[in-house]
């Protein structure tokens, strides 16, 4: 596919020069000059990140709601902190300012941005959407600088908020909206799942591709919403999907992927759906359509081990032929006790079958694990580590992307159990922003030794994964740099291999040093 470098800065004027915008919005109406500024938080990704193959993911949430704002004749101004967009000084035309965040540091970044906005125009309403605010609307709205929270999908909600702010409808008719009324927080109904097949295509035209790192390697794409499963650590049940799943039609998916290929020319399209494989016939049809249209591209997705283990070899081979290069699995653990607790419906034999199938078809399986759950003994962790060794022995290309130490996220059933165990929970929005992902030492179920042991395991496998990733990525490039890197990391690689072989994960000084150094140099990749 030919790369299309055309981009319309971060400000859509309503009169796009990109003809393709016609697919997304009707630009025929008058533009009133009213603006909606949308903020995507995150650390600025440095140039050196690109060397490590880091991809700046598209701000999909904002691109999803943007067409619905533009349809109401409003201009959309996206400020993406990760790509170093400067924070505008003028909000006099803003109907509202919207921010999105996951739980953790992104929250703080949004708060800082809102303070910046309020200092310039105190009256502009602030709308907070995305997973964190959807799950914790009360904590979010308790802050005087937040006016509205959109729980669940934002597409219809933003259009309705605009109409309500213009006095054309009542806020009390916007299902899924939470807001302050006469000093009280009110929650209007429950978020409704949207009909994904009727959704406008995300406004990819608003993306200035040049600002994003490594979009040529990978672009995220969402082809469905919701998930029928109920993993105990997952937020899914709280996002208004009610364990229902909806997929875009194969025709729509292929049309949107063609658009992405045309616009960004990525080496890989990566599905970020909650669970893309719910309807296997749909996947089959998508791949047939891709074949019929002679489109070639690589793709990756996540799948459950129990489901993939039942796929026929023929189907797996078909997916490999149609570009499936990497497939991600949330293996989480190999201890049956832990898998039962997590509602993961797979047995170790299924993981073996997955690895065998991938080996036969040339697809790289990537397994992700979590340790440090409440009630998990050292013996459970050993079962997991031994299981990994055995799987690697079968197929050495199996990648272990991370063995993370469990961090409970609000909105999941296990989070509530952890609170029962005495886990302290933040009270304010600001406190939630320091809900960090690594090196936690304050969970009642992790004593000092176990915290050190589990974080040692995390560091070891993460370092090994990063070394492999960089070596693989650098292979095609400059031979001397590649050899130099191999030479430099050789002692570290040996040390981590020794740790894995001999189960020596305590006293992981090198992990802490590397983490600090990388956080200073790059972004958080370890
Ligand atoms: C891709 C992805 C990533 C990418 C980054 C994505 C990005 N652009 O930043 C990467 C790989 C970097 C990533 C990292 C992490 N992620 Co992540 N990620 C996802 C994933 C798979 C897709 C996100 C997405 O783009 N969805 C598509 C968009 C369209 O959906 P959406 O964001 O929900 O937006 C809709 C609504 O929420 C709403 N909305 C959203 N924002 C706004 C704003 C306004 C103003 C309004 C009105 C509406 C609105 O409207 C949108 C359209 O309907 C989600 C799972 C999922 N399927 O959503 C997990 C998910 C968001 N990630 C999660 C987690 C835990 C993480 C990590 C902590 C993992 C880790 N241990 O390191 C890190 C944290 C990163 C950080 N900086 O904080 C959790 C979040 C839990 C929580 N309570 O915050 C999720 C939900 C996965 C899960 N099953 O638990 N992630
Ligand atoms: S972790 Fe994945 S499979 Fe499990 S409930 Fe969440 S989205 Fe579904």
What confidence tens digit (pLDDT) does each residue in 169-209 have? 999 999 999 999 999 999 999 988 889 999 999 999 999 99
In this prediction, residues 197-222 reach a mean pLDDT of 95
Q: Whose C-alpha lies nearest to ligand 1, atom 2?
A: 272
Residue 274 Cα, ligand 2 centroid: separation in angstroms? 6
Q: Which of 473, 1, 9, 23 has its CA nearest to residue 209?
A: 9
Rg over CA atoms, the chain: 23
Q: Whose C-alpha lies nearest to ligand 1, atom 5?
A: 57
Written as six digits, the tokens of 91 are 């909000």
Instruction: Give yes or no for residue 274 CB within 6 A of ligand 1.
Output: yes
Q: Which of 338, 32, 62 has its CA nearest to residue 222?
A: 62
The β-bridge partners of 11 are: 77
Instruction: Give yes or no for residue 106 CB within 6 A of ligand 1.
Output: yes
pLDDT of residue 241: 67
Sort 170 into a burial class: Cβ within 10 Å, 0-12 / 13-18 / 19+: exposed
Domain with CATH 3.20.20.70 in the chain: 215-463
pLDDT of residue 27: 34
pLDDT of residue 471: 77
How do the residues of the chain divide into helix, strand and coil, expressed in percent and rounded to 5? 45, 15, 40
Instruction: With cut-offs at 50, 70 and 90, classify the pLDDT of residue 29.
Output: very low
Please determine, for residue 484, whether its predicted confidence score (pLDDT) is greater than 80: yes
Are the C-beta atoms of residues 190 and 175 closer than 8 Å to each other? Answer: yes
Query: Counting atoms of ligand 1 from 1, which one is nearest the CA of 82?
Result: 9
Q: pLDDT higher for 444 or 1?
A: 444
Range in 9-13, 434-438, 489-493 with the lowest mean pLDDT: 9-13
Instruction: Give yes or no for residue 129 CB within 6 A of ligand 1.
Output: yes
Instruction: Give yes or no for residue 409 CB within 6 A of ligand 1.
Output: yes
- Give the C-alpha separation, 111 to 113, whole Å: 5
Q: pLDDT higher for 135 or 44?
A: 135
- Give the C-alpha separation, 131 to 154, whole Å: 11
Residues having CB within 6 Å of any atom of ligand 2: 227, 229-231, 234, 236, 274-275, 304, 330
Residue 514 Cα, ligand 2 centroid: separation in angstroms? 31
Residue 118 Cα, ligand 1 centroid: separation in angstroms? 26
Instruction: With cut-offs at 50, 70 and 90, classify the pLDDT of residue 479.
Output: confident
Average pLDDT of the chain? 89
Instruction: With cut-offs at 50, 70 and 90, classify the pLDDT of residue 468.
Output: confident
In this prediction, residues 207-215 reach a mean pLDDT of 92
Domain with CATH 3.40.50.2300 in the chain: 5-188
Residue 319 Cα, ligand 1 centroid: separation in angstroms? 26
pLDDT of residue 52: 67
Query: Counting atoms of ligand 1 from 1, which one is nearest the CA of 410?
Result: 83
Topology (CATH) of 5-188: Rossmann fold (3.40.50)
Instruction: Give yes or no for residue 156 CB within 6 A of ligand 1.
Output: no
- Give the C-alpha separation, 71 to 227, whole Å: 29
pLDDT digits (tens, 9 = 90+) for 138-171: 999 999 999 999 999 999 999 999 999 999 999 9
**Region label for 164, one of left (φ > 0), alpha (ψ between -120 and 50) or beta (otherwise):** alpha
pLDDT digits (tens, 9 = 90+) for 374-420: 999 999 999 999 999 999 999 999 999 999 999 999 999 999 999 99
pLDDT of residue 3: 34
pLDDT of residue 161: 98
CATH architecture of 215-463: Alpha-Beta Barrel (3.20)
Residue 227 Cα, ligand 2 centroid: separation in angstroms? 6
Please determine, for residue 445, whether its predicted confidence score (pLDDT) is greater than 60: yes
Are the C-beta atoms of residues 150 and 128 closer than 8 Å to each other? Answer: yes
Q: Whose C-alpha lies nearest to ligand 2, atom 7?
A: 274
Please determine, for residue 5, whether its predicted confidence score (pLDDT) is greater than 80: no
Counted residue by residue, the chain has a size of 526
Q: Whose C-alpha lies nearest to ligand 2, atom 6?
A: 234
Residue 132 Cα, ligand 1 centroid: separation in angstroms? 9
- Give the C-alpha separation, 168 to 41, whole Å: 31
pLDDT of residue 522: 62
Query: Counting atoms of ligand 2 from 1, which one is nearest the CA of 302?
Result: 2
pLDDT above 90 coverage of the chain, percent: 79
Q: How far apart are the first and last CA of the chain?
A: 34
Please determine, for residue 439, whether its predicted confidence score (pLDDT) is greater than 70: no
In this prediction, residues 250-277 reach a mean pLDDT of 97
Instruction: With cut-offs at 50, 70 and 90, classify the pLDDT of residue 477.
Output: low
Mutate which of 131, 402, 408, 412 for ligand 1? The one with the most ligand atoms within 8 Å of its CB, which is: 131
pLDDT digits (tens, 9 = 90+) for 7-27: 222 222 222 333 233 333 333
pLDDT of residue 438: 65
pTM of the model: 0.91
pLDDT of residue 31: 42
Instruction: With cut-offs at 50, 70 and 90, classify the pLDDT of residue 475.
Output: low
In this prediction, residues 444-460 reach a mean pLDDT of 95
pLDDT digits (tens, 9 = 90+) for 85-135: 999 999 999 999 999 999 999 999 999 999 999 999 999 999 999 999 999
Q: Whose C-alpha lies nearest to ligand 2, atom 3?
A: 229
Give the number of whichever ligand sits closest to the CA of residue 272. 1
Residue 131 Cα, ligand 1 centroid: separation in angstroms? 7
Instruction: Give yes or no for residue 220 CB within 6 A of ligand 1.
Output: yes
Instruction: Give yes or no for residue 207 CB within 6 A of ligand 1.
Output: no
Strands 11-12 and 75-80: antiparallel
Q: Which of 69, 32, 33 has its CA nearest to residue 161?
A: 69
């Amino acid at each position: 596919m030919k790369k299309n470098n055309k981009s319309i800065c971060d400000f859509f004027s309503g009169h796009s020069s990109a003809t393709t915008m016609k697919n997304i919005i009707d630009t025929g109406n008058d533009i009133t000059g009213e603006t909606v500024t949308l903020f995507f938080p995150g650390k600025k990704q440095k140039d050196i990140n690109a060397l490590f193959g880091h991809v700046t993911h598209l701000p999909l949430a904002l691109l999803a709601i943007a067409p619905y704002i533009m349809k109401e004749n409003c201009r959309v101004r996206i400020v993406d902190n990760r790509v170093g967009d400067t924070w505008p000084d003028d909000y006099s035309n803003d109907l509202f300012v919207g921010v999105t965040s996951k739980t953790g540091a992104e929250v703080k970044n949004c708060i800082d941005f809102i303070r910046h906005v309020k200092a310039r125009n105190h009256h502009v309403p602030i709308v907070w959407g995305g997973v964190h605010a959807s799950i914790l609307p009360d904590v979010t709205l308790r802050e005087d600088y937040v006016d509205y929270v959109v729980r669940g999908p934002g597409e219809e909600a933003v259009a309705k908020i605009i109409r309500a702010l213009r006095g054309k409808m009542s806020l009390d008719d916007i299902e899924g909206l939470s807001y302050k009324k006469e000093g009280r927080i009110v929650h209007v109904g429950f978020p409704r799942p949207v009909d994904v097949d009727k959704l406008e295509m995300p406004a990819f035209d608003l993306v200035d591709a040049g600002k994003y790192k490594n979009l040529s390697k990978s672009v995220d794409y969402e082809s469905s919403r919701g998930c029928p499963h109920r993993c105990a650590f997952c937020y899914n049940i709280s996002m208004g999907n009610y364990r229902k799943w909806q997929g875009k039609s194969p025709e729509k998916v292929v049309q949107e992927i063609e658009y992405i290929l045309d616009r960004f020319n990525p080496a890989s399209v990566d599905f970020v759906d909650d669970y893309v494989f719910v309807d296997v016939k749909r996947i089959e049809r998508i791949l047939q359509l891709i074949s019929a249209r002679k489109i070639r591209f690589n793709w990756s997705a996540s799948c459950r081990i129990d489901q993939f283990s039942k796929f026929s070899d023929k189907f797996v081979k078909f997916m490999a032929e149609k570009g499936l290069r990497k497939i991600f699995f949330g293996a989480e653990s190999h201890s049956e006790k832990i898998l039962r607790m997590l509602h993961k419906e797979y047995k170790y034999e299924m993981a073996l079958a997955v690895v065998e199938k991938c080996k036969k078809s040339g697809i790289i399986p990537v397994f992700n694990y979590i340790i440090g759950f409440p009630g998990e003994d050292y013996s459970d962790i050993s079962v997991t580590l031994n299981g990994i060794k055995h799987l690697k022995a079968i197929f050495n290309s199996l990648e272990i992307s991370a063995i993370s130490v469990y961090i409970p996220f609000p909105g999941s059933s296990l989070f509530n159990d952890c609170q029962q165990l005495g886990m302290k929970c933040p009270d304010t929005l600001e406190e939630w922003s320091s809900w960090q992902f690594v090196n936690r030492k304050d969970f009642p179920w992790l004593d000092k030794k176990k915290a050190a042991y589990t974080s040692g395991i995390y560091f070891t496998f993460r370092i090994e994964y990063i070394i492999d990733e960089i070596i693989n990525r650098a292979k095609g490039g400059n031979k001397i740099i590649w050899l130099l890197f191999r030479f430099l990391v050789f002692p570290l690689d040996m040390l981590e291999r020794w740790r894995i072989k001999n189960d020596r994960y305590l006293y992981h000084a090198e992990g802490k040093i590397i983490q600090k150094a990388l956080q200073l140099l790059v972004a958080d990749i370890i």
